Amino acid sequence: MHKMDISQYTSFFHDGEVIAIDHKENNIDFFIMSAEIDPSCVKDIVLSKNNVLRGKLHIEGINFITENGVEFSGVIKMKLSENDLLHLKIKENILFCEIGWRGSKPFQNDFSALEIHAQKIWWENIPDLDDRVL
């Protein structure tokens, strides 16, 4: 498994999507995909057939999490049926991410601004990652 540093490509994840979340103890795997990318803008990383980045963001050894500015000690889950990844940044083993959640009922939405402090954050590029990964 090739461990990649994705921090230079995080801008591409605005308007991407969270496909699944696997939170176990102090590790989280975010299965995510980026927005559409012009292939000429990336180097040394393989895009999926739709010109998006797909893969797993590994967050290991989590020290603490905040959601919308409040310390969070539960398990991070998919809140509603659809979502938009609105922002993603990685700085010195801190993940900053904003997810807009959308339900099937009218006016049903939620929002998570997550800040996750961990010991290690790395990207596993999986161009053929399936939408029903979990």
Partner 1 sequence: MMDLSKKIQPSTSSPLQPHEQTQEGLTDSKKDKLLSFDFDQPAFSTAALAIPLSAEALTIETACTSCNPYIICGAVLAVSAYCAIDYLSSHTEYINDAITTISSGFDFTVLDRNKEGSVDPGLPTNPDDILNRPGWKETTHPEAGKKGHRTFENEKTGEQYRHDQGQSGETGHEAKDHYHHLTPNGRGGFNYLDANGREVPKGSDPAHIYPGR
Instruction: Pick between residue 33 and residue 65 the one whose CB is nearest to partner 1.
Output: 33
Tell me the CA end-to-end span of the chain in Å, nearest whole number: 19
Least Cβ distance, residue 24 to partner 1 (angstroms): 26
> Which residue, chain included where needed, has tokens 């938009």?
84
Does 86 engage in binding with partner 1 (CB under 8 A)?
yes
Q: Which of residues 95-114 bind partner 1 (CB under 8 A)?
A: 98, 100, 102, 104, 106-107, 109-113
Residue 27: which H helix or E strand, with range? strand 27-33
Q: Which stretch binds partner 1 (CB under 8 A): 9-17, 18-26, 54-62, 125-133?
A: 9-17
> Which residue, chain included where needed, has tokens 């939408």?
131
> Measuring CA to CA, how many Å separate 99 from each of 28, 33, 90?
15, 13, 15
Question: What would the DSSP string read from start to end of 58-125?
Answer: EEEEEEEEEETTEEE-S-----SSEEEEEEEEEETTEEEEEEEEE-SSTT-EEEEEEEEEEEEEEEEE
Instruction: Pick between residue 109 and residue 119 the one whose CB is nearest to partner 1.
Output: 109
Q: Which stretch binds partner 1 (CB under 8 A): 56-64, 77-85, 116-124, 126-134?
A: 77-85
Q: Which residues bind partner 1 (CB under 8 A)?
A: 8, 11-12, 14-17, 33-36, 38, 40-41, 43, 50, 52, 68, 81-82, 84, 86-87, 98, 100, 102, 104, 106-107, 109-113
